Chain A
Amino acid sequence: MRSIPADKITEAVAKLCMDANYYLGDDVYQALKNYRDKEESPVAIELLDQCIRNADIARSSEVPICQDTGFAVFFVEQGDQVCVDGNLKDAISKGVAKGYTDGYLRKSIVEDPLRRKNTGDNTPPIIWIDPVPGETFRITCAPKGGGSENMSEVKMLKPSDGEDGVKNFVVDRIKRSGANPCPPVIVGVGIGGTYDKCAWLSKKALLRELGSKHPDPYYAEMEEELLNRINNLGIGPQGLGGRTTALAVFIEAHPCHIASLPAAVNVQCHAARHKHVDL
Chain B
Amino acid sequence: MAEDIIKLTPPITDEIVASLKAGDRVSITGVIYSARDAAHKRLVDLIEKGEELPIDIKGQIIYYMGPSPAKPGHAIGSAGPTTSYRMDAYSPTLNEHGLKGAIGKGARGPEVVEAMKKYKGVYFTATGGAAALISQSIKKADIVAYEDLGAEAIRRLEVEDFRCIVAQDCHGGNYYEIGVNEYRRD
Contacts and interface: CB of A to CB of B under 8 A. Distances in A.
Interface of A: 40-44, 46-47, 50-51, 53-54, 57-58, 61-69, 104-108, 116, 118, 120, 146-147, 150, 178-182, 232-236, 238-243, 269-271
Given A65-B129, A104-B77, A240-B176, A41 B105 contact: no
Contact of A232 (B38, B131, B178, B185): B185
A241 B182 contact: yes
A67 B83 contact: no
11 contacts: A42-B1, A53-B133, A54-B127, A63-B71, A67-B66, A67-B67, A104-B71, A116-B38, A240-B180, A269-B129, A271-B129
Nearest to B71: A104
Nearest to A229: B185
Contacts of B182: 41, 234, 241
Interface residues of B, number: 46
Nearest to A243: B183
A63 B129 contact: no
Interface string B76-114: 011110110100000000000000000001110000000
A57 B127 CA distance: 15
Interface string B125-144: 10111111101100000000
Given A50-B127, A106-B151, A63 B107 contact: no
Contacts of B185: 232, 234
B150 A107 contact: yes
A241 B179 contact: yes
Interface of B: 1, 38, 65-71, 74, 77-80, 82-83, 85, 105-107, 125, 127-133, 135-136, 149-151, 165, 167, 175-176, 178-186
Contacts, number: 163
A210 to B, nearest CB: 16
Give the residue among A106, A178, A235 with the most B Cβ atoms within 10 A. Answer: A106
A105 B128 contact: no
B91 to A, nearest CB: 16
Contacts of B132: 54, 57-58, 61, 63-65
B130 A50 contact: yes
Contact of A238 (B127, B183, B184): B127
A63 B135 contact: yes
A214 B129 CA distance: 28
Contacts of A106: 66-69, 77, 151
Given A47-B127, A104-B71, A234-B181, A63 B150 contact: no
Contacts of B68: 63-64, 67, 69, 104-106
Contact of B180 (A42, A57, A66, A233): A233
Contact of A236 (B38, B70, B129, B180): B180
A245 B130 CA distance: 16
